[in-house]
Amino acid sequence: MIASERGIRMRIVKTARRLVALGLSPATSGNLSARSKGGYLITPSGAAYESLGPDDIVFMGDDWTHSGGQKPPSSEWRLHRDIYRTRAEAGGVVHVHSTAATALACLRRSIPPFHYEVAFAGGRDIRCSEYATFGTQELSAAAAKALEGRRACLLANHGAITFAETVEDAALLAERVENLARLYLTTLPVSEPVLLDDAEMARVVAKFRAYGKPQA
């Protein structure tokens, strides 16, 4: 059951402030959203999260048009829209410009299976998309390709995007991606890290499907 719209707005605001506190969304960068009855709710364009209130969150309706809120929606609303359209399991989407993930994106390097927690994103690696201008349908298409079979990807010369069942879990995954990016960058001046093989990553992906869930 989808929660009340007011409740979702408050959860988005709380999560946005957490991203700022963690340093994952410097200045007014990044955006986040949650699926809502009849569409989705997304942070407004150019908003400072510290002063964001529930009434500032923008509702995007079934026709995917701006339909409420104090400001225009984030310029990346197409990224969010297309994830909700194509990934039924997505209940929340988070896009960040966190330092390490963005540094790798600027190098156009995917995060390989150097650590088993890469599997939190749903597969053996966290891909980097092809480059496209921000706020465009081309960027959304590039992200969709990089997200095939995944819940997270890097956006070339841009940042990272994640999705999950809730906006809170999408933010947690963004935090995990940033930590993995930082670890990976730490290994590179020493040597290319030893990578886990496909069989091991498949085992970990399977184990993570039950991670944090009640056991029978």
* Residue 191 predicted with pLDDT over 90: yes
Q: Where are the domains of the chain?
A: 5-208
Residue of 5, 76, 168, 178 marked active site: 76
Quote the pLDDT of residue 82: 96
> Is the pLDDT higher at 2 or at 81?
81
Q: Give residue 25's identity as a one-letter amino acid code.
A: S
Across the range 154-169, mean pLDDT stands at 98
0.85 exceeded by the pTM? yes
* Residue 123 predicted with pLDDT over 90: yes
Across the range 42-61, mean pLDDT stands at 90
In the CATH scheme, what is the code of domain 5-208?
3.40.225.10
Which of 216, 113, 90, 209 lies closest to 161, judged by CA? 90
CB within 8 A of 157, min separation 6: which ones?
Answer: 105, 106, 108, 131
State the DSSP string of 44-76.
BTT--GGG--GGGSEEE-TT-SB-SSSSPBPTT
Known catalytic membership, residue 5: no
